[in-house]
Homo-oligomer: A and B are copies of this chain.
Amino acid sequence: MQLDNVFGALSDATRRAIVMRLCEGEASVGELAKPFEMALPSLMKHIRILESSGLVASEKTGRVRMCSLQTEALATIEAWLAAQREIWEQRLDRLEMYVEKLKKEEKSNAHKPKSK
């Protein structure tokens, strides 16, 4: 599935740093590599992974490859998270309503003898 790859791609600090860099605009492979001590081929692997997850696109012109962020991929997992949040918040709402109900019932029973 798509989500597997996007979450997987973001589970590595190097790749997150690349994504963060690309948030600020396009960059060549060389520019992306500069901040890291890593050998180029290692960094290239990360870029490949980012590409195959759909988070990054790249195009080579001349001898330089420019990479850019594909924000839709990030939107995909934002959407997944939002969906989960909605589910758990609905549950918490129901829970809260239930507690409110209990409170009211307790109040209206305050005068009656204990049933225990």
A contact residues vs B (CB 8 Å cutoff)? 1, 3-5, 7-8, 10-13, 16, 19-20, 23-25, 69, 71, 74, 77-78, 80-81, 84-85, 87-88, 91
Most buried by B among A1, A13, A23: A23
What is the total number of copies of this protein in its complex? 2
* A interface: dominant SS: helix
Contact residues in B for A25 (Cβ distance below 8 Å): 91
Check A87–B4 contact: CB distance below 8 A.
Answer: no
Check A3–B16 contact: CB distance below 8 A.
Answer: yes
Check B20–A11 contact: CB distance below 8 A.
Answer: no
Instruction: Please give the distance in Å from A81's CB to the nearest CB on chain B.
Output: 5
